[in-house]
Amino acid sequence: MAVDVDIADVKGSVGIFQGFTDKEVNQQLALATKQATSDGLTDEILAAGIIQYTRHLLYVDWAMSYGGVQSASTLGNSQSNFNLLMSNDPYLLQYNATVASFGNGGNMGAVWTE
């Protein structure tokens, strides 16, 4: 496994990631590398998976920096039950699709018959 993913790859031109320090990105990059490897991504797609999962982790940090808002009201318009971290996290959705297509998922079991 010789994958070369660096901070610039993760941050790209995405505005929300520019405020993260190199140390913060490297910490999440290390976790993402372990996750993508555990999920069985092949060498051809491993770098993309690492970037996607690192961005997911940073996205969670970014969203939580706003205090985990559950509801908001502005000019008579109200929203509640924000779901930024589950069904609307574009980086996690992308990563899960990559694992479904190219990996085996770390949580999958084995099935056999006799």
**What pLDDT is recorded for position 92?**
92
Q: Which helix (H) or strand (E) holds 92?
A: helix 90-102
pLDDT for 108: 53
Q: What is the pLDDT along the chain (114 residues), one digit of tens a residue?
A: 567 899 999 999 999 999 999 999 999 999 999 999 999 999 899 999 999 999 999 998 888 776 655 666 777 776 655 555 666 789 999 999 999 999 986 555 555 666
How far is it, in rounded angstroms, from Cα 113 to Cα 73?
Answer: 56
Between CA 74 and CA 78 the distance in angstroms is: 7
Q: Which amino acid, 109? A: G
Model pLDDT, residue 57: 95
pLDDT at 83: 56
Looking at residue 82, its pLDDT comes to: 55
- Separation of alpha carbons 25 and 72, rounded Å: 30
